[in-house]
Structure 1
Amino acid sequence: MRRFIALLLLLGLALAQGLEALWKAVEVPGGVCADGSPYRFYVSPGDPRKVVIDFQGGGACWDAATCGPQSQTYRKRVDVQELLLAQGIYNRLSVANPFHGWTHVFVPYCTGDLHVGRATVDYGGFKVHHQGARNALAALEYVFRNHTNPERVFVTGCSAGAYGAVFWADKVLATYKNAQVAVCGDAGVGVRTPDFPGFRVWNPRLPELPGLSQNPEVAEIYLVLAKAFPKARIAQYTTLLDGTQIFFYGLMKGERAPSEATAREWAEGAMRAVLAPAQAENYAFYLAPGGQHCILPRPELYTLKVGEVSFLEWLRALAEGRAAPRVRP
């Protein structure tokens, strides 16, 4: 047992040393996670003219049940397991990575508010700091200061990070008017119940886009964003029966485990959410079969193929500023 524990400690030390070799932590004065712990983001240096802005996923919470101290529905402090596992776009050493050699800015998520909250809420005996907007803005301002004239910028995120990407894309696009910018949400299509209280609770920072409604659906944001910035590439990815997105939709309905009817509702809503922005010529989507959640942090990024279109080449087209096809099974 002692030898086993010693091996685990050595493995942890090796991982930490490997992380530090590739990723620089940037502390954020005043940044805060849900539980009050300090916030930081990470930068892996590369070509300063090519920048990935990557919002981390990690669930969400919006009431005493989902936000409670024992809740497993959201991250409460900075956790960078994606960087440690080094799969998908986090495999910084792979030349097959579409972002090999780019500067990669990783924006951790620990506030339960899809990176947009501006509230500290007392849920009856405990407080949660929904201050995702403060943290995200600090990371973006760092990027803007250190990369004043990039050629390419790729804004993305998995799960809750997909919402962070599309909710903050307007600020990136408005700042980098001369760059080739692409925005790609991974597994965050925005299907929600009509009475979902999250955005009211979080007091969110909403995109500053002309014509956007006061309580916009995610599909509306994608459409308005694509029309406002016609030179940008705007895109979404999801599987048709994403188990995690279905779970959260069921949670909004009060179900601890989603029913078959809930899964069907989500799937129908997801199709509408992904296809609705397609009237914009610079919008693309990649729909894959199955129920896997997210692809950016997974090895499947390099192997998935729907019909004749590999996801890797689809993603590479976006990264290079080329038109990507609209893919569905």
Structure 2
Amino acid sequence: MQNKLVQSFRHDWRNVLPAGAPGCSQGTPYSFWVKEGHPTKLAVILSGGGACWTGENCALHGKPFYRPFAGLEGDPSNFGGVFDTDNPENPLADYTIVYLPTANGDVFLGDSVMVYDVPAMGGQPAGKINILHKGYDNAASALDWMFKTYPDSKTVAVMGWSAGAIASPIYTHIVAQHYPDASVTHFADGGGGYRVGEKLAPLFKSWGTANVLKRVKGFDDLSMDGLSFEDLYIRAAELHPEIIFHQYNERHDDIQALFMRLMSVDAPDVPANLDDAHAYIRAKIPNFRTYTSWGHDENIIGGYYDAVLAKNALDNRGRPHVLDRFYTRQTNGVQFLGWFTAAITGNPVKDVACVDSETPEYHWTRPKFP
């Protein structure tokens, strides 16, 4: 019975090969996923999936920390959170969901083709690898399909997690430009602590991010000199004062710490970086809100779960033997689900920050077992 339910859920999603998409990191076809709902209510979700910018962390036989492909094996049918449209608590239950996988190692900010030198590792000799950092063009092709397929959208929620969170302000701007009469909202899940100064410059250079910015009206005059991820929020918020830009982070996000170490940041301090990044943005623009929770994870919107019998565990990913933290998390007495629902439906929210950044807090009571 459970297999039949999962299969039925999977059939609700369809895979789309967009015209003109240059392809994934290795040149394989790029595709994205759509789940039909109301034709005038859209949710555009940029997925997480890491990044790469050297031969060592791009080579598949080394230690890659990115998703190099997007295809039929990457369907979101077993995700929870906002993807679980069978849950009546889901504020996106009746939305059409357009899910864009990341597959180019460039956090959707890439427009380059790189040939990297790969050192000898993993039992393989030194060599070279070609990487298509074409995340921007793949996403643009998917959005072009969406614009043509749903021309009369009235409500659009743009969001991303992890890698997809970083570029989400730019894509919110692109969507808002195309749907000038629609109510457009923004939400980013993770990625807020990369306040690392010049450490970002090699990544932008490898990805060809300067080429991307030149192609996006409104961002085309941004200087690459000292550019930060926070500057993308500031520019998008300046261009769209009617949109509140929202960001969720967990105070001790291990994923962000990992990628900072890959950027050669010694002893990364995610909490301090989050504080610095948020202060920098707030000093420039008023339309920015944050929910900073306890914990060490990210991707609350994409269906990670706290297992019933384990404390803050992310095993048991799937139905029905889990409790989905998207629906159960609470921070400093504020239920995340209510905060998120208000944010993506255009209602005002206040900043939320954890007091105790380690002790789990839920708005449900964990059951006691004998």
TM, length-normalised to structure 2 = 0.79
Structure 2: give runs of 5+ residues left out of the alignment: 118-127, 305-323, 355-370
Q: Is the 8 A contact 2:251 2:295 kept in 1?
A: yes
Give yes or no for the alignment of 1:323 onto 2:348: yes
Q: Which of 65, 73, 79 is the equivalent residue of 1:73?
A: 65
Shift of 1:81: 5.0
Q: Is the 8 A contact 1:193 1:253 kept in 2?
A: no
Q: Which of 183, 188, 191 is the equivalent residue of 1:188?
A: 191
Shift of 1:114: 0.6
Residue 280 (structure 2) aligns with: 276
Give yes or no for the alignment of 1:228 onto 2:239: yes
Structure 1: give runs of 5+ residues left out of the alignment: 1-9, 255-260
Residue 37 (structure 2) aligns with: 46
Residue 313 (structure 2) aligns with: none
Residues 104 and 65 (structure 1 numbering): CA distance in 2 closer, same or farther, change over 3 Å?
same
Residue 200 (structure 1) aligns with: 205
Give yes or no for the alignment of 1:97 onto 2:90: yes
Residue 136 (structure 2) aligns with: 133
Q: Is the 8 A contact 1:52 1:105 kept in 2?
A: yes
Amino acid at match of 1:114: V
Q: Which of 23, 27, 49 is the equivalent residue of 2:17?
A: 27
Residue 5 (structure 1) aligns with: none
Structure 1 segment 278-317 matched on structure 2, within 5 A: 278-279=282-283, 280-297=285-302, 298=304, 299-317=324-342
Shift of 1:263: 3.1
Q: Is the 8 A contact 1:193 1:249 kept in 2?
A: no
Distance in 2 (CA, whole Å) between partners of 1:184 and 1:76 is 25
Distance in 1 (CA, whole Å) between partners of 2:8 and 2:299 is 27
Shift of 1:117: 1.0
Residue 85 (structure 1) aligns with: 78
Distance in 2 (CA, whole Å) between partners of 1:135 and 1:94 is 31
Q: Which of 101, 104, 110 is the equivalent residue of 1:111?
A: 104
Distance in 1 (CA, whole Å) between partners of 2:102 and 2:169 is 15
With 189-198 and 152-161 compared, the bigger mean Cα shift is at 189-198
Amino acid at match of 1:127: N
Q: Identical aligned pairs, as a percentage?
A: 26
Distance in 1 (CA, whole Å) between partners of 2:273 and 2:207 is 23
With 40-49 and 171-180 compared, the bigger mean Cα shift is at 171-180
Q: Is the 8 A contact 1:181 1:233 kept in 2?
A: no
Shift of 1:151: 1.9
Residue 160 (structure 1) aligns with: 163
Amino acid at match of 1:163: I
Shift of 1:208: 3.5
Distance in 2 (CA, whole Å) between partners of 1:141 and 1:218 is 25
Secondary structure of the residue that 1:116 maps to in structure 2?
Answer: coil
With 226-235 and 58-67 compared, the bigger mean Cα shift is at 226-235
Distance in 2 (CA, whole Å) between partners of 1:167 and 1:66 is 26
The one-character-per-residue Cα deviations of 1:106-147 (angstroms, maximum 9, x if unpaired) are: 001110001121111111322111111111001111121122
Distance in 2 (CA, whole Å) between partners of 1:222 and 1:74 is 23
Residue 263 (structure 1) aligns with: 268
Secondary structure of the residue that 1:142 maps to in structure 2?
Answer: helix
The one-character-per-residue Cα deviations of 1:60-105 (angstroms, maximum 9, x if unpaired) are: 0001111112233011111665713221111021111110100100
Q: Is the 8 A contact 1:86 1:92 kept in 2?
A: no
**Bigger proportion of residues as helix:** 1
Residue 253 (structure 2) aligns with: 242
Give yes or no for the alignment of 1:59 onto 2:68: no
TM, length-normalised to structure 1 = 0.88
Secondary structure of the residue that 2:174 maps to in structure 1?
Answer: helix
**Root mean square deviation of aligned Cα:** 2.1
Distance in 2 (CA, whole Å) between partners of 1:180 and 1:160 is 25
Shift of 1:283: 1.5
Secondary structure of the residue that 1:62 maps to in structure 2?
Answer: coil
Q: Is the 8 A contact 2:170 2:236 kept in 1?
A: no
The alignment of Structure 1 onto Structure 2 pairs a total of residues equal to: 311
Residue 123 (structure 1) aligns with: 116
Shift of 1:262: 1.8
The one-character-per-residue Cα deviations of 1:226-268 (angstroms, maximum 9, x if unpaired) are: 22211112111101110000100011007xxxxxx6232x321
Shift of 1:212: 3.8
Secondary structure of the residue that 1:198 maps to in structure 2?
Answer: helix
